[in-house]
Amino acid sequence: MDPVLITFTIYIGGMLLIGYYYYRQNENISDYFLGGRSLNPFVTALSAQASDMSGWLLMGFPGAIYAGGFNGMWIGIGLAIGTYLNWQFTAQRLRRYTEVVDSITIADFFENRFKDKSRALRVVTALAILVFFTIYVSSGLVAGGLLFENILGINYRLAVILAVIVIGLYTFLGGFLAVSWTDFVQGTLMVLALLIVPLTIISLRGGFTEVFNQIASINPDLLDASKTVSYSFANDVKWITTSENLSFISLISLLGWGLGYFGMPHILVRFMGIKSAKQIPISQFVGVSWVVVSLLGAVFVGALGIIAAPEALQNTETVFLVLLQKLFNPWVAGVFLAAVLAAIMSTIDSQLLVSSSALAEDFYKSFIRPDASQKELLWISRAAVLLITLIALFFALSGGTILDIVSYAWAGLGASFGPAILFSLFWKKTTRNGVLGGIITGGLVVIIWKNLFAYTGLYEIIPGFFLSALVIYILSYFGKDPLPEVVKEFETAMKPLENE
């Protein structure tokens, strides 16, 4: 049997075992979605980062660097800064506030934060989650498909279906605790792969100076983060400088990715699951260090692919897979290819969990069966995982690159929820109508911009985020003052809680 396959099988088996172990431990819905707020700070840190970084980190992002050179690094810088700001300002406050208003999901939080009896906030939140996460999940299935196609040499469609079975099964079984623990293992594996692979190639190629000289000999502008280079597989000269300098619009579009963090429900719930808000600073340090090392590693994987891949790549997003298979011993390659699967699984599982909670808690329990038992809800959540996976499978089979699909979903979530979360946490006067208007505006502007104004080159998250913030501000400013009860809760959540 092929060593790559053996490593892979062991890896998948291990993850499923963890899923099964926690399957037997989940007794109620809060366990399934939030692990009963019992996570230690290291698991919180790595699971937040591993949930964040998907197949995008090992495939989409290195693919962009491979195709365009170092100017793609601006996305990474934007993301690193966004990660830092999210840990620094959002994490602790959100952990406290969700405990004060007793919420286990983002929709719960909005509803309880604003004492919204109309259910409008809950429905709009759940709807945006379902739409954009289904798109996001499909990007993971595309990545999983590419991975299995490359490793097993099977047809892409079959590969995607295989990915669906593996990922769906263990999210279905384990829920939050399983996902958090497997995320922890997967996060460790990802960062090791992103450290070891580029460093090995750099030393094999004679060191940094030599590597940069070799890249410069192909096109010196590849090394310059202020130049734009385009890649074409069909041409004899693959990398051509397209314009002198990176435009301002391109630069803010790339950096603008970082704005998305404040609105990513699958990352925000990790903050909510930590045992105590006091542990956030240690988690932050671990999490931010992880993300910096991983993003730098991914930049170098893409750049090294330009000189170390044996031939030009038709699909640039396979650069990491190709480097592993061509340059490493198959046993080592097997472990690191499992890291790619880890990246994909650790994101998709968290997203499936959040989406299934939207269906089970926000639609089923709220509208269909308010008296549903915990056990019934647990099963509805599991059925929801399957349903969403199947819809995402349909999208995945209809094409698109990982980077494109992720950027759309990322913008949608970031613009819908980012300003809403920030205002809810930081501005006492924020009103329900403000947040409701903000979520709708953010989501719609992203969809409209993507379809009508993409030609401007401005990434849709930027107009979406700022217009959403503007709507929240205006509606809240001119709206009624919040209830005294809401103000009291806001003030309680601003300070350390009594039980910390």
Partner 1 sequence: MDYNLPTVTWFWLLVPNLLIVLLSLLRFIKSKGGDS
Binding site for partner 1 (CB under 8 A): 70, 73-74, 77, 80-81, 83-84, 87-88, 92, 208-209, 212-213, 216, 223-226, 277-278, 280-282, 284-285, 288-289, 292, 295-296, 299, 496
Nearer to partner 1, 40 or 213 (CB): 213
Q: Phi-psi bin for 230: left (phi > 0), alpha (psi -120 to 50), beta?
A: beta
- Please give the span between the terminal C-alpha atoms of the chain, in angstroms, as a whole number: 52
**Radius of gyration in angstroms for the set of CA atoms belonging to the chain, rounded to a whole number:** 22
Least distance between partner 1 and beta carbon 496 (Å): 7
Nearer to partner 1, 292 or 386 (CB): 292
Residue 388 identity: I
Nearer to partner 1, 32 or 262 (CB): 262
Nearer to partner 1, 71 or 105 (CB): 71
Least distance between partner 1 and beta carbon 127 (Å): 34
Nearer to partner 1, 284 or 389 (CB): 284
Please give the Cα distance from 309 to 185 (Å, whole number): 29
Least distance between partner 1 and beta carbon 288 (Å): 4
Q: Phi-psi bin for 105: left (phi > 0), alpha (psi -120 to 50), beta?
A: beta
Nearest to 142 by CA among 402, 408, 352: 402
Nearest-10 crossing angle of helices 61-68, 402-426? 120
Least distance between partner 1 and beta carbon 78 (Å): 9
Nearer to partner 1, 84 or 473 (CB): 84
Least distance between partner 1 and beta carbon 226 (Å): 5
Nearest to 190 by CA among 89, 93, 301, 314: 301
Nearer to partner 1, 246 or 386 (CB): 246
Please give the Cα distance from 9 to 316 (Å, whole number): 26
Least distance between partner 1 and beta carbon 206 (Å): 12
Nearest to 262 by CA among 106, 116, 104, 458: 106
Least distance between partner 1 and beta carbon 493 (Å): 14
DSSP state at residue 498: T
